[in-house]
Each structure stands twice: as structure tokens, then as C-alpha cells.
Amino acid sequence: MLIKRFEDAQSYDAPNHWGVHGLRLQGFEEGGPTNQWVAFSQFLPGGGAGPDSTSFEKVYVVLDGEMTIEWDGRTEVLRAMDSCTIPPGQERRIENKSNHVCKMLVVMPYPPEK
């Protein structure tokens, strides 16, 4: 079992993101999860990501605030405790269009080894 304290979480920069501060809560450490990692992202008003896609599935869980997600000509707003699964290859764009910080968990598999 691995317990990590929030104050020990390491920050990271995600590609094609803006106005966001990401923290790695679990993953990439000895004794941590073996098939996925978990991030905590805080998106400032106007912050977002994309448009892009990944070769793997992701899960977004909005903890507080709201996040607008756009894909395939559709738009939805995720609010506190809403979640979505993004399948591999799905192009999407997300943006915090509110005036409040959006706090979100992101769960994704480790990147493929090269």
C-alpha cells in the first residue's frame, strides 16, 4: 500500500494545456499503481486544453466548479461530481468558461513504453 499526502504531490506540465496547475497524486513512484496514474488539475478561469486526442482512454471527474467539453460538434458542461470517459482517439477541447477555478481529477493509463 502506498499513501501519498497532498502536500507531497509533484507538479507537472501537461502538453497543449493553458491556465492549469497539475499535480500528480498517484503514479510513477515505487509502490504506486501499476496500470494508471491520477492527477489533480486546477483550471483557472479561461484555462483549458486541446483540441487534441490521445491513443488511450481518460476519465475526468469534476470536483468543484465547471468545465466545458467540446467534441464532434457537441458541447456539454460538467459540474461538481460529473464525470466523463474519453475513448482512445476522441478529439476534444476543454475550457473553464466560468469565473471560478475548476478542480478536476484525471485518471489515465501510463503512456506506452517506447
pLDDT digit string, tens, across residues 88-114: 999 999 999 999 999 999 999 998 775
Considering the domain delimited by 6-109, tell me its CATH architecture.
Sandwich (2.60)
pLDDT digit string, tens, across residues 39-93: 999 999 999 999 999 999 999 999 999 999 999 999 999 999 999 999 999 999 9
Residues 60, 91, 25, CA angle at the centre, nearest 5°? 30
pLDDT digit string, tens, across residues 18-37: 999 999 999 999 999 999 99
Task: Tell me what the pLDDT averaged over the chain comes to.
Answer: 96
Beta strands in 1-114 (DSSP E): 10-12, 17-26, 36-52, 58-64, 66-71, 74-79, 83-86, 92-95, 102-109
The Cα–Cα gap between 8 and 81 comes to 24
